[in-house]
Amino acid sequence: MMNYFLKSQFYLKLKEFRSFLLLTLLVASAIISISVYDKFRYNQSKDLQSILQNIYFQKTLSSISRSLEPRFEKYKYRIKEGENLKVILENLDLGEAEIKKIIDFILINKIKLNLYANQQIILEIDNLKKRKIKQIIIPTSKKKELKISASKNNSFDVLELTKELTINKVYKENFIKNSLYKAAVDKNIDPNIIIQFAQIYGFQIDFQRDIRKNDSFQIVYEEYKNEENKTVDFGNILYANLILQGKTYELYHFSSENDKINDHFEPNGQSIKKTLMKTPINGARLSSSYGMRKHPILGYNKMHQGTDFAAPMGTPIMASGTGKVTKAGWCGGGGNCVKIKHNTTYSTVYAHMSKFARGIKKGVRVNQGQIIGYVGSTGMSTGPHLHYEVIKNGKKVNSQTLKLPSGKKLKGKIREDFELVKIKIDVLKSELINNN
């Protein structure tokens, strides 16, 4: 029994020793392996470092790297204040020789770039060997762009391109709470369309006096979108409708190249245009009517032979009709003023201007709706406003009550063409309303 116990203890101790020995061998193997691996990595790192420092390897690596990169890089560059093309090209790390070559080409060929702050231009650079210009695209207008491209003879070619634009038809309507302008802005209508809308109705509507709360408008107009579906320009107002105190003022756009017609007409074919616009300024209020009044400066009663429109300083003033400028200068108490002769019957006067519009001088012909100056307070004036006079057969008359002759009324074949256009616009309007 004793012998059996001793044998059992011996085998147990032997088993424990074997386990310890095995564990010791495993630890020793791990230490040796790590040591060998570290030495291998050190030698490998040393060899790699030696290869990387080799000049020929560096050139090879650089060449491979360039071949893996895109050959052509496109930059959308937004011009900063005071930058010219030379500065822009320097910012793109182009060599002096390449910059000189493109600048010389532009100067020799008298190319007008029309660069300005915040303008975005596109430059494509060729990264093969030395960085060179592949092409430069510069927008010159909303519809056109200038493309300067590298040619095969180590020079450049220049081409003016017309952008691909899509015409989109837009319908908007709204009730007027405060002003037409505010109601239009609330519907995200561009200010250019709002101005065009006001100019169309300027012959028969006084926007300061005729519009009341809860009047409304409807409008269908064209907008031009680029390839990125961004609106870049606006076309014609195809349909306009003002509902004032329940009365409808509908207008349709109609054009005919053969008959030299491009205008807005009432549903009966009557042109909206009259000899003179009723109000030659937008966003103003009638501050003093035609007639007897106490002069604000002289202090005694005096005949006021015009109409005053109060407006912020610098508000544009339009020619109320087509004609020739007979005076653009100082008019004594009227300050800076413009006088226009429209025909043998009518002339108009615009006084107290802060300044004249560019190109406005005696002898110049102006078109109806053209900006001729800006609201000021020059001469005998107590605040910024436009003093507007209409002279009929040499006598000053009330511009607001004057009955003016209307434009042409469509007849015959032209009237038939207009009726077809009107039907198409009505169908278009219905489709746009249903899609809204």
Q: Where in the chain is the domain with CATH 2.70.70.10?
A: 285-397
Residue type for 342, please?
Answer: H
| CA–CA dist 56, 113 (Å, integer) | 45
Tell the residue number behind the tokens 């038809």, with chain if given: 169
Task: Work out the end-to-end distance of the chain between its first and last CA atoms, rounded to an integer number of angstroms.
Answer: 106
| pTM of this structure | 0.54
Closest CA to 83 of 130, 133, 120: 120
Q: Where in the chain is the domain with CATH 3.10.450.350?
A: 68-162, 166-265
| CA–CA dist 77, 108 (Å, integer) | 25
pLDDT in tens, 233-274: 888 999 999 999 889 999 999 988 776 788 899 999 988 877
When mean pLDDT is compared across 26-35, 312-321, 397-406, the lowest value belongs to: 26-35
pLDDT band at 5 (very low <50, low <70, confident <90, very high): very low
Q: Which CATH architecture has domain 285-397?
A: Distorted Sandwich (2.70)
Q: Which CATH architecture has domain 166-265?
A: Roll (3.10)
C-alpha dist (Å) from residue 325 to 314, 349, 377:
21, 10, 21
pLDDT band at 171 (very low <50, low <70, confident <90, very high): very high
Instruction: Give the domain 68-162 fold.
Output: Nuclear Transport Factor 2; Chain: A, (3.10.450)
pLDDT, mean over the chain:
81
Residue 282 or residue 383, greater confidence = 383
